[in-house]
Amino acid sequence: MKLRSCSVAKVFCLGTLLLAPAAAFAQAAAKLIPMPREYKAGTVAALAQGVTITSDDGPEDRFAAQDLAAWFDELGVHAEHGHSSVKIELLRADSKRGEKVLASAGVKLDTAMHDEGYAIVPEDHGLAVVADTAEGVFYGAQTVKQMVTGTGASATLAEATIRDWPAMKYRGVSDDLSRGPFPTLDFQKKQIRTLAAYKMNVYSPYFENTLQYASDPVPGLPGGSMSKDDVKALVTYAAQYHVMVIPEQEAFGHLHHVLKYEEYAPLAETPMGHVLAPHQAGSLDLIGQMFGEIAQEFPSPFLHIGADETADLGKGQTRDEVDKRGLGAVYVDFLLQIHQKLTPLNRRLMFWGDIGMHDPAEVKRLPKDMIAIGWEYSPNPKGYADWLKPYTDAGMETWVAPGVNDWNRVYPDNDYATRNIQGFVHDGQLAHSTGMLNTVWNDDGEGLFNGDWYGILFGAAAAWQPTEATDAAAFGSAYGEVFHGDATGKLDQAQREIIAIYQSLNAAELGWQTDRLYWVDPWSAEGQAMGAKLNPLVHEMRLHAERAITLIAEARAAGPLREPDAVDALDTGARRLDFIGQKFETAELIAKMYREAYASQNDAEKKKHIGGTLYTLSGANGLCEDVRDGYNYGRLRYSDVWLKENRPYWLQNVLTRYDLASQLWVTRSAAIHAAHVQWSAQHTLPAPESLGIPAENR
């Protein structure tokens, strides 16, 4: 085979470790995500003279070489006229050069390494990546990227010996495109590149009504849905990176945004509900139309039909049948009908396993070529066997679906997420699950994918590495340097500061609803109940958030960071958490000060200070204005971060919340100002309750 070369400038660095399985590494020394199976430290090569990359002469390997070259260019390592002191070869194991490199190093590619595995060996003052397949070559090149420390003339490359291969065949992300944020095509391409860089090979967009159909044009809103051209561009782009795009179109539940249209009203289990009525003939016709088009546009061997959370089933058109036969029987019947309807498409169907798992006897009726995806998003000390066993007992293939815990939160709870991901993927591997689909959901319509990378990359590591090998603490110390190029460790510490906030909030049963904490009126009945739990935590919470903000600024000041949009999302998350504390703290102080002023009206000495107190509450730099300003700045910042990844679609729904929240405090400021005017004229004050100020909690 011919070798194709491309010269670029690059920087590499890797820590030193003894030859050992990855689980035995001193991981602080080798910062790689995922960690390789086997690693032997070598020398460190300076890259001041640049790097030359060569590859076997096939289009896929040339693409891997070009991708690697682009990475080195980004790091500022440049070779002059193709000459450099360090060489990186991308080789197939069956080439003469590949065979020679492996034999010289005494390294073998085992059968388990065939599909996606690779070896990296020091060779001629550089490295050789050797693999059986294009996927293996590509993944080896991605590891090489992480074996670099520094940039420009100071860059170095760790010349280590590595053997590596995945524990799970399918490693992916399910991306909610139906309940708020809808990414631009450019951002979806960035998602593909990033997933591939961390050896993930599945991207699964989740559709309710956000995929356009020629046969069903009403629900897919222009500007807020994927067109046929979008799909073609994404699928073609992803294939270069060995990423399979598996579409999920809900085909049973979660279809409110279809069923709310009049033409589909007869198909709804309940009026304008969420679930298709199984025995309406039009239900299967609709499914057939949708998936017929999907199969033409997505070449994946899998089609995901959803079928989760069918809470309306048995409450409307199928009430009598469910009462007679049971929920499980009616549910499985419809899955069987869907399977039969879609059989001509010659694809394997995937479905969420949360409904069928409760009726193992009915599960055994399902076709064995269907794939059940068990999902559960909480850490579970008792393990996750219950989510898989009904299906493995029935002889079905399973995947596992943990979550990044970004939904209903102003920033993901990464402690909760990593414990969930680690536990579920571990148990999935023990149960011989073939895939992991890490989930991103936007239940609150406000999720920022750029804030989710920590959990996504941890999922990539968990699915690639075997069972016990995923170390959350080691990952937390490597993430900032690997993903952002932050050698200071400050971004990792900023993540830990936010984790500390969530740990305290979770202890108070508030961690799962930080988004609600952000929007709730502290003086409402709900806000007072939440405040009773939150207020004792506010001081430490704000210190952690502000420490995170400071650490982020210090990391930025120390040098250019990679993935700056994700850093912006981290900073925005920290500021939103800080504002939660500020809002509750300020609202409590306003209420306290006004109640004290009201009680002082007839005190000759104390009433002298009432005017000043009221000005403090509502005036230049007043406390009401602080809350107003917090929401207004938050609106500006959030909008900016949103538009770096998403289309404008849906954004106005979130901005309206900012506007209403800001206006509430403008109105309250005006009411307190009016009270100030009344005091100046009449020396009387309206009662606190008339201003919406709650009674003091005792």
What are the residue numbers of the active site? 309
Q: Hunting for tokens 């680690």 — which residue is that?
A: 422
Distance, CA of 112 to CA of 675 (rounded, Å): 77
Q: Which residues contact 57 (CB under 8 A, 6 or more apart)?
A: 1, 2, 3, 4
Radius of gyration of the chain (CA): 28
Distance, CA of 356 to CA of 352 (rounded, Å): 9
State the distance between the two ends of the chain, measured CA to CA, in whole angstroms: 81
Distance, CA of 176 to CA of 308 (rounded, Å): 14
8 Å CB contact between 66 and 60:
no
Question: In 10 A of CB 319, how many CB atoms?
Answer: 13
Structure tokens at 511: 């961690």
Q: Which of 357, 451, 445, 374 is closest to 405 using CA atoms?
A: 451
Q: Which amino acid is at 624?
A: C
8 Å CB contact between 648 and 554:
no
Q: Hunting for tokens 């909480």 — which residue is that?
A: 378
Distance, CA of 375 to CA of 399 (rounded, Å): 9
Beta strands 20-21 and 38-40 are antiparallel
Q: Which of 284, 279, 290 is closest to 248 using CA atoms?
A: 290
Distance, CA of 46 to CA of 1 (rounded, Å): 30
467: left (phi over 0), alpha (psi -120 to 50) or beta: left
8 Å CB contact between 168 and 429:
yes
Q: Which of 388, 588, 405, 356 is closest to 512 using CA atoms?
A: 405
Q: Which residues contact 441 (CB under 8 A, 6 or more apart)?
A: 176, 179, 403, 406, 407, 447
For the chain, give percent helix, strand, coil, nearest 5: 50, 15, 35
SS3 of 306-348: the string is: CCCCCCCCCCCCCHHHHHHHCHHHHHHHHHHHHHHHHHHHCCE
Distance, CA of 681 to CA of 679 (rounded, Å): 5
Question: In 10 A of CB 285, how many CB atoms?
Answer: 13
HSE-CB of 269 using CA atoms within 13 angstroms: 27
8 Å CB contact between 372 and 358:
no
Structure tokens at 383: 């393990």
Distance, CA of 90 to CA of 98 (rounded, Å): 9
Q: Hunting for tokens 């085979």 — which residue is that?
A: 1
Q: Which amino acid is at 383?
A: G
Structure tokens at 377: 């998003």
How far CA 337 is from CA of 251, 312, 325, 341, in Å, comes to: 11, 19, 17, 6
- Does an H or E element contain 44, and which? strand 44-46
Question: In 10 A of CB 553, how many CB atoms?
Answer: 13
Question: In 10 A of CB 616, how many CB atoms?
Answer: 18
